[in-house]
Structure formats: structure tokens, C-alpha cells
Homo-oligomer: A and B are copies of this chain.
């Protein structure tokens, strides 16, 4: 039986990871065709990845046909899964998202604050087009969206495209599970975390090892880390004892932007002065990665890739596709419709939740109320996300302004306009919906 995966944004430096994942899962998830799709400006990178992918498959002696193309519609024919990992405007656009806010004294970051909103504005229309193609060409296929801001993008697709088989994934739940396991000297697969919230804004409510509640222990160890504990590399490092003891929740690294705003801003400003934007740092990393990828003797995913922040994304995606394909009914944390799972959020909101993964897609496990300490913040973030989607689709200046001014990292009615105007101008070639 044919099983076909299409990777949109196939020229991404992360693609070898997903190819590796497919190769490793041949026995249970027998993908036998992979098509990498990209756009003209990414053609060279696409080819590089394509040839590397072929060498990897050959080396693994896997029965997978790999090809690449700039023709998305052709690629989609008979697809079963579509992974979307695009970056509209490339790292140059990211650099703008980072630099302009910093210039005005705001955090510049690609998925939060002004930068995250702008990324959504650039990305959502393109993914709406992709979803339209999928709906027409391969309506039974699942879109597995990694593209950031993943939660916002997934909500846009689920609520405004006609394609219903869309799942958003992020590596934060996976990383939190793994670093918590490390903290507890447990195996990752034994650790289950009851998450609550939104993509990049989830908290861990309960940490279980083989079903035993060990939340207190995790909190104690995090709180007392100063003395004698070396935390896992991804674990949040800087949370005050009081924050964890009072909220009784496990934060994730992105919460630093909201609850340690001034500290992060100063750090980012310093880093910017030293090294330029994170986008520019990444640009160099990317270039050396592609140098590596072109080496004809390379036929596995190189270790160097793990240094990129998005590591394990592909692992998460492969694991998800495997569970769908095999109706595994295991539990994974993905972005899907709320539908009552969290009673304090709208039913059509997309949340990041623990789901039973079935052939029919993710079925979220009921959560109930948001813990009181973070209820308002999560509701606020979701409302801001809705404003962002609204603006990305309407292209109206007022809608864009509303998203900006209501973002907790901006929230200044005059500076919101200054920021927005400058960002709209800088990105205008990628924002056709805004009549600029």
C-alpha cells in the first residue's frame, strides 16, 4: 500500500531530521514516497536537501522514493500526510521581526510579541492557500503543521479553511517531558505531564511517573536547584521559588517573555549589540549546516543539526503520524480544537492539549477549568491570537492594531502604532492582504 508524505518547505535545514524519523519508523509507519516542495528562491537548498535525503535513504537501504519539486499541486496528488514547515520571507524577515521591536524597546522574537504577530500575518495567507490545495487535491490527507506561530496558524486553518484534518505540533511539550524525566531520573516514556494552555503558553499542572503524582517533587527540585542541582538543558532556569510555589505550575521557557520581560529584554538587547539578531546568528548556523549537507559523503543526519532550537520537532511529527496511521490511541500533546476541553476558553479555540491519537485524529482529554493563577493570562493570550488571525485574514489596519495593542508585550496605545507602521512597511512585499 502506498503511503506518501509531502514536506512543504522541504528545503528547510530541519528536513534531514524528519527523513531520519521516517527511515527509523519503516517497520511500523511504512512511508514509501516523500516529496519535498519548496519555492523558487529556495530551489538550491531544496536540491541540497534532496540529494542528502537520497543518500540517507540509500545508506539505510530503505524502500522510499524521494523526489523534490517546485510544483506544490502536483506534489499533493495522493498524499497521505503533509508536513508544513515554511518561513515566509525567510530569515531576513525574521531579522526584521527581531530588530524593529528591539529598536523601540520591545522584545523582538519570532513567535511572541510584535514579531510573532507579523510572522502570523505573513504565514496564515500562505497556509490558507496550501490548505485549499490539500482540500481539493488530497482531501483525506492530514496536515501536520510545524510552522510558527504554530497554535495561531493551526487555529486559522481549522476555523477558516475548509480542510478539517489539521494538527499543530511544537517541541515544547516533548522537551518538557524529557527534561522532567531527566530531573526525576525517570525514562521519558514513563513521564506524563498534564498540560494546560496554548502553544508557547502551556503550563504543566501535574507531573506523573507511571501514574504516580510527583509534581511536588519536581517543584521542590526546581525551587532548590540553586544549591545542588544541574537542571536539564531545556528546563526553565530562572524561575523564582515564589512563582512556582504560588502558581503551583510548571512554566515553559516562553513564559520568560511575559513574566521576566525586563530581564529578557535587557539580555536580548545585549545579545543584539554583540551578535546582531538571533536571525542573523541562525543564518550563519544555517549556512554552515548547508555546507555540511552538500558534502557527498554525508549520508546521515549530522549531529550539528541538534544545535538548532527546533530540534525534536520532527520526532514529534513522526511520532504523531505513526500514531494516526496505526490508530495507536497513545497520548501526545498537540494543537487542536478546544471543544470544551478547557471550559474557560471558546469551543472553537485551538489549544495545546494532551490528546488520544487515533486514526480519526487527536481526541483531547478533558481538562476543565484553567487553574486560577493563570486563567486570565491564558484567556488574554487566546483573545490576542484571535485578533491576530482576524487581521491576518482581513488585512485591515485596525485589526492589526488591535492585535498589537492587546498583546501583553506591547500594550502601549501609541507605541503600538509606531511599531506596527514600521513593521508593515518593512514586510510589505509579504503582506499582499494589507493594501499598503
Please report A residues at the B interface, Cβ cutoff 8 Å: 192, 206, 208, 210-213, 239-240, 242-243, 245-248, 258-263, 327, 329-331, 338-343, 347, 356, 358-360, 363-369, 372-377, 379-384, 386-387, 390, 397-399, 401-402, 405-406, 408, 411-417
Contacts and interface: CB of A to CB of B under 8 A. Distances in A.
The 7 A-B pairs of least Cβ separation, nearest first, read: A376-B383, A211-B359, A211-B327, A376-B380, A339-B368, A246-B398, A340-B340
Contacts of A245: 398
A401 B242 contact: yes
Given A398-B245, A401-B246, A413-B259, A372 B363 contact: no
A265 to B, nearest CB: 11
What number of copies of this chain does the assembly contain? 4
A11 B414 CA distance: 42
Contacts of A239: 413
B213 A360 contact: yes
Nearest to A328: B211
Given A376-B380, A380-B376, A331 B356 contact: yes
Contacts of A338: 366
Contacts of A364: 365-366
Contacts of A363: 365-366
A406 B373 contact: yes
B212 A359 contact: yes
Given A364-B365, A383-B375, A247 B402 contact: yes
A379 B376 CA distance: 6
Contacts of A248: 398
A356 B386 CA distance: 31
Given A242-B413, A363-B366, A366-B366, 16 more contacts: A211-B359, A213-B360, A240-B414, A240-B417, A246-B401, A246-B402, A248-B398, A258-B411, A329-B331, A340-B367, A341-B366, A356-B365, A372-B390, A376-B406, A377-B383, A408-B408
